[in-house]
């Protein structure tokens, strides 16, 4: 149980284009989904917290107009990187929690974004 | 600022030995503590979580929590080369609901 999928696993795009990443909880309803970014040899950095049907809460320093998050249902959240630039190249990982008492987060496999 | 600290390593242990990974956290009111394993180029995988003082065992893994010392550790018995990875400690701080704060991780190398 507790499987989270992400699509695509890898994407290469030109500078200035937008990229959409999907995160799905496959066998449970995710009350909350999280989006992280991880640069090489660094730890996970939380970008935003997303609850179904409400606006995402962004961490300090994360531009909400650049990283658009839509949490349309209890099993799907999307992250759109708008007007991507080379410095946005990173490993983007989503996670989901079903709202149990201990708030375990289950991670998707990640999306490696390369902006040329 | 709420922090989670880990030694970055690498921690090198021979195959079959016990690996001991440590983590300290800043918020005394923290409630839930998690250990994740991350292989290079992959996303984190939940190993186990603990919320009460003491030990919690799951197979070859034992999590230890000492809230008075604000310290949580992970022991890996009979270490295998496949255990070589980065181990991330994560803490749910008071008042942050389900949000986790991650340490920078400790890289474990199990040698033959």
Please answer yes or no on whether B102 and A104 come within 8 Å at the CB atom.
no
- Locate tokens 């490993």: which residue? A91
Q: Which pLDDT band, with edges at 50, 70 and 90, does A114 fall under?
A: very high
State what percent of residues in chain B have pLDDT above 90: 79
Q: Which pLDDT band, with edges at 50, 70 and 90, does B20 fall under?
A: very high
Residue A101: the pLDDT is: 61
Nearest CB neighbour to A104, from listed B49, B101, B102: B49
- In chain B, DSSP assigns E strands to 4-5, 11-14, 19-25, 32-38, 45-50, 54-58, 61-66, 71-76, 85-92, 101-102, 106-111
Mean pLDDT of B95-101: 73
Please answer yes or no on whether A44 and B88 come within 8 Å at the CB atom.
yes
Q: Which pLDDT band, with edges at 50, 70 and 90, does A98 fall under?
A: confident
Please answer yes or no on whether A46 and B99 come within 8 Å at the CB atom.
yes
Q: Which pLDDT band, with edges at 50, 70 and 90, does A23 fall under?
A: very high
In the predicted model, is pLDDT for residue B95 greater than 70? no
Q: How far is B29 from chain A (nearest CA, A)?
A: 14
Nearest in space to A23 (alpha carbons), one of A13, A33, A38: A33
Instruction: Identify the residue with better confidence: B97 or A8.
Output: A8
In the predicted model, is pLDDT for residue A102 greater than 70? no
Beta-carbon contacts below 8 Å between A and B: 51
Residue of chain B minimizing CA distance to A49:
B99
Please answer yes or no on whether A105 and B34 come within 8 Å at the CB atom.
yes
Give me the half-sphere count of Cα atoms (radius 13 Å) on the Cβ side of residue B102.
Answer: 24
């Amino acid at each position: 149980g507790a499987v989270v999928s992400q699509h695509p696993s890898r994407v290469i795009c030109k500078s200035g284009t937008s990229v959409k990443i999907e995160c799905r909880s496959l066998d449970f309803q995710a009350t909350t989904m999280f989006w992280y970014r991880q640069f090489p040899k660094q730890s996970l950095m939380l970008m935003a917290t997303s609850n179904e049907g409400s606006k995402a809460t962004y961490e300090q320093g994360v531009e909400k107009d650049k990283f658009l998050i839509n949490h349309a249902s209890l099993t799907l959240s999307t992250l759109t990187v708008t007007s991507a630039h080379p410095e946005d190249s990173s490993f983007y990982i989503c996670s989901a929690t079903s709202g149990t008492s201990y708030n375990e987060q289950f991670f998707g496999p990640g999306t490696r974004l390369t902006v040329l | 600022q709420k922090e989670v600290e880990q030694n970055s390593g690498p921690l090198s242990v021979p195959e079959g030995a016990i690996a001991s990974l440590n983590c300290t956290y800043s918020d005394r009111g923290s409630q839930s503590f998690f250990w994740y394993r991350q292989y290079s180029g992959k996303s984190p995988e939940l190993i186990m979580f603990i919320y009460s003082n003491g030990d919690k065992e799951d197979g070859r893994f034992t999590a230890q929590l000492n809230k008075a010392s604000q310290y949580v550790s992970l022991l890996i018995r009979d270490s295998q080369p496949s255990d070589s990875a980065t181990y991330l400690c994560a803490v749910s701080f008071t008042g942050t609901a389900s949000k986790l704060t991650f340490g920078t991780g400790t890289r474990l190398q199990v040698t033959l």
